[in-house]
Structures are given as structure tokens and as C-alpha cells.
Structure 1
Amino acid sequence: MDNPPLPPEPPPPPPAPASARRAVAAALDLIAIADRPELWATLRADEDVLVDAKAVDDHGGLPLAGLLAAVEDGISPTADPVRRLAEAGAVVLGTARGGADAAELVALGLIGLALTTQAPQRPDVVCLTPTAGLLPAAGAVVAGTLADGCRALTALTDPGAWPADVRLAAGERPRLTVSTKHRTTLRHAVGELLVAGAEVTTMDTATSMVPLGQRTETSDGPEVSAHGVRFRGRPFDDQVLIDLAALLTGEQLKNPYPATGTALVVFGAHLRGQPRNAELRDLGARFTGEVRTAPRYRMLALDGQAGVHPGDDGAALRGERWLLAPGSLARFRAALPPPMTLGPVELDDGETATALLSHPAPAPDITEFGDWRAYLRHRTANRPGLG
């Protein structure tokens, strides 16, 4: 008689949630194994950093929870960025002797982040020097990944320090100039940027990659270094440079560094690839994903635009969510022709967001398509003379 089949193996247990305490314990072991005491000006007692880590875990939900950091010895321990670092949930293990030593600690994987007075240039770490004044008393962040560096800068920067119309994205086809003096060094990076859609030209007087038309002779603008390539730009174009660096690191950055954006949902000609999408990109808007409304909206085919408004027997409509700085959103609103307007829309997950809507108007009702692009495909397929 055949043996009955064995029951299937139970699924593996889910991994234990990450905790600052476990991260600190692992880092302390690595520091002992690495045996690089010359990199540290001070190294805090194990008991003290473990107590800090437990406090982070007990608090829960801190933006930098689990991130381990060091601070360059030249930065005061009472400086505002150091205080904000701890308040955001990062655990500071000690101080590094200098910026180069701090970068070495990051490169060795002993910490994930360092605050320095100046960003050292090396290919195995990410260095972010924000616009002058955004990171007082520190100057730069060195991180293992661009995402960690941006996460830290967001926590360390006062949201009110940004201009009302700050750009939140580099745009679809950013244009850069590249120094011919460093062309051999930059050749691989230029190739990756071209594949990603950037337009790259050369100028003998440039010293690094700079967004076209944004060269600055002052030191007030931001700098971002990744994979050994340095990007420079105008003051407050920090996110433009971060997006360019992300093309090299391959990281998908969900949230921009300037934490000032307002979400805007669009449905028609402002969608990606549609005729009026450039209006959003020119304002520095950032695409953050596709959305669906709650099933109570109707869509009209206005003159080249989708007219969306609440209505009886409505449907769930597809759209896109973009992020704009407050001043940019105000400019967008001011330029809207009637019957277009901005108003609240309920999404299928219950969230309410600002959306590009319209007042009811005499126009064909295209709600049945549920999607502006689906309507355009239908109209093209049924155009006289086709088929």
C-alpha cells in the first residue's frame, strides 16, 4: 500500500521586522572586525548607543529609524542638523576624524550616513551638498545610497526654507553639459545618461555635469556626486541633480527632497505623453503614480481635454498623480481656462486629493471608457477611412 503523501511544507515565517537595536548590534560587531580605530575621533559606549536604539524602536515610525550615522569631528554635537538627526531616529555611533574618514566609514558599511563639513569625492559613496543654508553647520551628507541621503536631507531640512516654486523633478529629457577635460572619466556615465533619455553636450569650460542653462559661478548651488560623477546646479535645484544622479545609481526615488509638494490628479491632456503634459513638467512637477477615483465621477470630451466632475451613475476613472510645489500649483491654477478648475476628488482607497476637474458643460459623455487614453484609442480606431 502506498504511503499517503506528505503534507506540504509550511511557508517560511516572515522575516523579523527591522529594528534599530539589531542594526546597532550588527554594526558594533562589524566595527570590531574592521579594526579601524584611526577613522574615529570618538566612538560612543556600546551601552549608550543600544539605549538610543531601543528608544527609537519604542517610539516607532521615525523617518530615519534603523539608520546608523557618524558626525565629522568639526561639527558641534549641539548643531541643529545633529539634533534633527537624532530626533528623526538615526543612531549616532560617534564622530569621524574628518570628512574623508567619515566617507570611509560609509564605504566600509560600518554606518549608512555621515554629516560632514565638505563632501569628499569618491566613487563608492553618494555625496550630497545641498544649496547653501539648507544644512547649516554641517554642509554635506555622505551616504551609502542616494535614497538614504535624500531621506536624511529631508529630515534635516526645514520645509519652510524652500522657494514656493522649487522644482521637484529634473523632467523627462534633462539636458546637461559635460567637461571635455574629463571626458574619458565620464564616458560610461554619459552613455548611461543618454540611454535614460538625457541630452548631453560638451563644453570646454565646464568642470562637471551641469544641467544646461543652469551653470553657476557661485558656490551657493547644490552638488551631488554618485559613481564618481559630480553634478552641479543652481541654488534650490537640488532635486534636479538628485534625479540625474539616480539615473546612474538606478534607484527609484519615490519622494523628492523638498518636502513641500502638493498632489494634483489629472485625467486628460495633462497625462504623460499627452499634448499638455509639458505644462506640468515646465513647472517642475513630479509624477508619482497612477490612480483611480471612487466610482462616482463622469468624464466629458471637451476641446482636447477631459472634463471630469461628480455625477449620477458615475464610474471609477483612471488618472495620474503629480506633485507640485505650492507656488507652481498656484501658477497652474491661474492659467486654467474655463470650464476647468481645481477641486477635491475621492480616490478608490478613500483618500481625497486635489484634481483637475471641470464644471458640467455641453460635451460628449465618455464615462464608459473610464480612461482618457482608452477614449483616444477608440476615437482613432473608428476614424473614417481607417480599417
Structure 2
Amino acid sequence: MTPSQTEAALPSPTARVAAAYARIAAADRPEVWITLREFDDVHAEAAAIEQRLADGAELPLAGLLVAVKDNVDVVGLPTTAGCPEYAYSPAETASAIARLVAAGAIVLGKTNLDQFATGLVGTRSPHGAVRNALHPELISGGSSSGSAVAVALGIADIGIGTDTAGSGRVPAAFHDLVGIKATLGIIPAHGVVPACADYDAVTIFAATLDLATRAAAVMAGAEGRDPRSRSWPADVRFAAPQVPRLAVPVPANLDALSPEYRDAFDRSVCAALEAGCKIEAVDIAPLLEAALLLYDGSIVAERYAAVGAFLDTAPAGADPTVAAIISAAAATTGPGFATDLDTLARARAFAAELLEPFDALLLPTTTEHPSLAAVQADPIGINRRLGTFTNFCNLVDLAAVAIPGAATATGYPFGVMIVVPAFADQVAVDIAARLQNADTAPLLVDRGVDLAVFGAHLRDQPLHWQLEELGARFAGAIRTTDAYRLTAMATTPPKPGLVRTEPGAGAPIPGELYRLSEAALGRFLAALPAPMALTAIELEDGRGVIGFTATHDATATAADITEYGGWRAYLSAR
């Protein structure tokens, strides 16, 4: 049973908990967990949530079960970052986890990981390699291995990971999961053992885009205890356009892909075309070169700053590969670090210019799916290849949503990423929904202002492109109260003018509602031509919104078309 099926089928949080622990016993995957909470404690928490629901509490994630990567703090559970000697008892729960719990989610326990979140393979742990949930002879992907496998096995509904180099995306690709790596800082990293503090992101795994997005929306928001946290800006985009423009790498950029993955990516691109996207190939070589700086450059000094002094004490539980990577970073120099920062600044400028004509970059999530034996034989080389398309995202401040792509010819999972500029996360979610043939896309960004339109800006009308350009999101069909009349004005293109009258003296006028950012509304108003204007509009359902009207002199001489029942009906009648 998949997590989404479990969520729909189980009647209560307590039943969900009972099913999860039964699944844990049946799966027999002890390597997934570093600390698993006692059943009685989790069951009691679920019972308390049921009582809160009965008392009328609104809990959007009520009873959903969460597996937390063990470099993220949860009060009452030790944080080890995959190294027993590093263990400590946190005084506070990480703010992102606290927000999930406040929304009704329940933490099951702490999961295994590539030690100190250093790796993309899921094998670098004294607690054992985390086997792939679907094909146990293959790797699970790291470093957020345990969290991804807990979701893929149907135990947890939500897996919490971290992603510096791709750890919230590579395991998703290996398990047919959705992985959301939001813009850096949007989900605060308070309570996270740092890997590279400037480039760490808290991430979400889930079986569906809807659940992953719901969890991300709950976790998002600035946090005073995290100096790197960020809020959605005033000009945030709320939607992708009806015909998304996707960039894909030129063939030379895809040389790292295995033949099987190359074929799967080609078919995924064809599927995007069939889904109505426009596709253009671009050269992303400078981004692939920037990706090498995360481990092969001086940026790795941030890993040493985080835990290098501890590893220098040679703790017995230290993974040799992880210890070698981090300890070697002690040799980095200040000038070398400054040089790499300059290289990254240039790479960010390149990324901004590259993506400016597009809505997103469509990439393969990773290059191949190696076996546990192959990684044991070549732990560094394979790990480096796996991060080919993920390593640069945080370095150049991009967001990404990882979703299943076309399955490989042998039927194994393959994943793609929708990569977007910082704060365009909702655009990535919308495109991901389109590629998954979803009827609607879940809402990640919950802010902004509503704008009512009644004529030339409706979805099939000639000025609708202006709303798309501003990233406006369709929020539904609307009707005004009966205190309005509609007129047809002699403008180019033709537009209606909404006229306020006495209640009962008009008729309900149909229109559409759009959500857009405060800055977008300001730009829209500044460019509004005469005789159009914006004013408060009363809707039939009692809401008051900003909407289109027109100046009195323009509507006074215009033909009254109220009787037609809206602008589209009037145009059709003509």
C-alpha cells in the first residue's frame, strides 16, 4: 500500500500509527532507523490528535507520519548525524519539524543517512548501508537515504531530508518519489547539523506532489533563529504559464548519463512536449563546471567548519570516506575560497541569463542507478557522477522539484528535475503537475492579493497574457452581487466596463479571480491604460476583492450589455 493510499484508507491517526508499525515489522529494514520511537508514545500522540480534531481543531496534516533525517533536531530524540560519538540531546525541535507537528503531523523517529550528510549513495554509515526499497541490491541514494526509504516502503507519509548536493532529489529518483528542494532559506535550517551552512536546504519526500507541496507550504517561512532563512518576496510568481517554456541540455551535456538513463531522459522530454510544453536545447556546461566546486573546490571548507574539529579526534564511528573528504578540507586557503566564490558569482549570473527566456530547466536527476557492490568498489567516483546535475543548484541559488520521469527500459525508476530561479518554486510545482498530467497543481506560495477580471483578461481573451507574464494564478470563477451592470466600451481591443449601481438594480456579472503578488499588482496598475481602473468589487459569496471597472465618462455613453450575462456571452451573441 502506498502512502497516498494509506492516507485515504485509514480512518484515524491511531489506525495509521498501528499500520505503520506493522509495516515496519513486516519490512524488516532495521538500517532505515537510527532511533525509532516507542509505539505506545506515538499511539498516544495520535490519540491526542484525534481528540483535538473532535474538539474542532484545524490540523491540515492531522495524523500524517513523518520520518526525520538524523541531522535534524527533534526534542526527546538524540541527534547523531550518523555518528554515534557525535550524539547530543537537542534543547529545541528544528523549526521546520515543529511547524509540521503544529499542523498535526507525528514524528515516527530519526532515520539513517550518509554520515554528516556527506554523500549521495546512502552507504556511508556505521548503521549500515540503506538498501533500496524497490530493489535491495541497489543503493537507496543519499544522504537522506533512510527518510526516502521509509516513505517508499509505505511506512511514513512524509520524509524529511536535507539537500546540499542533491540528497533531497537523488533518493527520490531511485524510488519513484517526489522530492522538493525549495529555494535556499525558504524552509529554515534552524536545528539542522550543518554540512555546508550556506548551501544546506531542508527537503521533503512524499509519494505525491500534492502531499509534498502541502508539507513544504507548512514548513516555509522566515525564522529568526536561522540567519539564512528567507521569506517569499513581494514579486513572487504564483503560477507557470499555460504553455511552459522548458530548457533542456544539449546532447554534449548529457555524456555522464548511462545509456539506459539517456534513453529514459529522451522519452521524458518527449512526454513534456506531449504535455504541451515548449522545449529548447541549451548549453549548461558552465553550471556543470560550477557543480564540481562543491567537493573539488574550496567550498568543502564549510564542511570542515561544521564538523572537522570533531572528526580530527578520530571517533570510532567515523565513516572513513566521509572523514577523508572533510578532513582534507582543512588544507583549503582563504584566497582559494575567495576565488571559488567569485567563480560561483559568475555562474549565478550565467544561470540567470540562461533561464531568463524560460520558465524552467528540465534535467535528469542523476546519471545511473548503481548497485551496493559497485559503490563499495568505487565510493568516490560513483558519488561524484551521481551529483552531476544536482550539485550546482544550491551553489547558484536555484530551486528544484524532483518527480518520476519515464521508467527505464528495464522498468527501474528514473527521475527528472524541474529547476527554476530562486523564489520561482510555485512555477516548478505547476510544471511538475503538468508533467504528471494532474488536473490541478497544489499551492505552495500562500500570500498575495486577489484580482477580479471580467473581460479582455479572461483566460481565452486577448490580454490574458499580461496576467501570465506577471505570474498570476487562476483562483476560480466568480460572480458579483446584483449591484453591477456591464457595458461594452469602444476600446482596442474591445473591453467591458463594470458599473456599480444600487443593490438589485443590476445583475450578477461572471468573471474570474486571480492571485498575484503585491509587486505584480502594482506593475499591473501602473501600466493600466485609460479608461480602465481598479476598485473594490463585492462578490456574490460575500467577499470583497480588487477588480476592474472603468471611468464614469467612458461607461456613461457605452452600450449596456448586462442582459447578455457576461462578456463571453456578449461576444458569442455578436
Fold shared, TM-score > 0.5 on shorter chain:
yes
The alignment status of 1:286 with 2:439, answered yes or no, reads no
Structure 2 residue aligned with 1:346: 538
Structure 2 residue aligned with 1:117: 162
Structure 1 residue aligned with 2:513: 321
Structure 2 gaps of 5+ residues are: 1-7, 75-92, 114-143, 190-200, 223-229, 289-353, 362-391, 405-414
The alignment status of 1:375 with 2:562, answered yes or no, reads no
- What is the TM-score of this pair, normalised by structure 2? 0.60
* CA distance, structure 2, for counterparts of residue 67 and residue 249 of structure 1: 23
1:290-313 CA-partner distances (Å, limit 9, x unpaired): 122222211111221121132242
The alignment status of 1:139 with 2:202, answered yes or no, reads yes
Which SS does the other structure have where 1:32 is aligned? helix
Aligned residue identity for 1:107: A
The alignment status of 1:237 with 2:429, answered yes or no, reads no
Label 1:281 to 1:56 Cα distance change in 2 as closer, same or farther (>3 A). Answer: same
- 2:72 alignment partner, one of 70, 75, 79: 75
Contact map agreement 1:260 1:326 (CA 8 A) in 2: no
Contact map agreement 1:114 1:141 (CA 8 A) in 2: yes
Structure 1 residue aligned with 2:499: 309
- 2:21 alignment partner, one of 18, 28, 52: 28
Structure 1 residue aligned with 2:264: 185
Aligned ranges for residues 16-95 of structure 1 at < 5 Å?
Answer: 18-59=11-52, 60-77=57-74, 78-95=93-110
User: Shift of residue 262 of structure 1?
Assistant: 1.7
Label 1:144 to 1:16 Cα distance change in 2 as closer, same or farther (>3 A). Answer: closer
Aligned residue identity for 1:166: V
User: Shift of residue 140 of structure 1?
Assistant: 1.2
* CA distance, structure 2, for counterparts of residue 156 and residue 22 of structure 1: 25
Contact map agreement 2:10 2:16 (CA 8 A) in 1: no
* CA distance, structure 2, for counterparts of residue 340 and residue 294 of structure 1: 20
* CA distance, structure 1, for counterparts of residue 534 and residue 45 of structure 2: 46
Structure 1 gaps of 5+ residues are: 1-14, 380-387
Structure 1 residue aligned with 2:149: 104
Which SS does the other structure have where 1:127 is aligned? strand
Structure 1 residue aligned with 2:236: 166
Which SS does the other structure have where 1:164 is aligned? coil
Structure with higher strand content: 1
* CA distance, structure 2, for counterparts of residue 205 and residue 191 of structure 1: 20
What stretches of structure 1 move > 6 A for 4+ residues in a row?
214-217
Structure 1 residue aligned with 2:90: none
* CA distance, structure 2, for counterparts of residue 131 and residue 16 of structure 1: 33
User: Shift of residue 359 of structure 1?
Assistant: 3.6
Which SS does the other structure have where 1:57 is aligned? helix
Aligned residue identity for 2:241: G
The alignment status of 1:364 with 2:559, answered yes or no, reads yes
* CA distance, structure 1, for counterparts of residue 440 and residue 63 of structure 2: 19
Contact map agreement 1:125 1:142 (CA 8 A) in 2: yes
1:51-71 CA-partner distances (Å, limit 9, x unpaired): 222333333311212321111
Which SS does the other structure have where 2:48 is aligned? helix
Range that drifts further, 142-151 or 42-51: 42-51
Label 1:135 to 1:16 Cα distance change in 2 as closer, same or farther (>3 A). Answer: closer
* CA distance, structure 2, for counterparts of residue 29 and residue 267 of structure 1: 55
User: Shift of residue 115 of structure 1?
Assistant: 1.2
Which SS does the other structure have where 2:559 is aligned? coil
- 1:222 alignment partner, one of 399, 402, 407: 399
- Superposition CA RMSD, Å: 2.4
* CA distance, structure 2, for counterparts of residue 145 and residue 319 of structure 1: 32
- What is the TM-score of this pair, normalised by structure 1? 0.87
1:16-42 CA-partner distances (Å, limit 9, x unpaired): 995323322222222222222210111
Aligned residue identity for 1:141: I
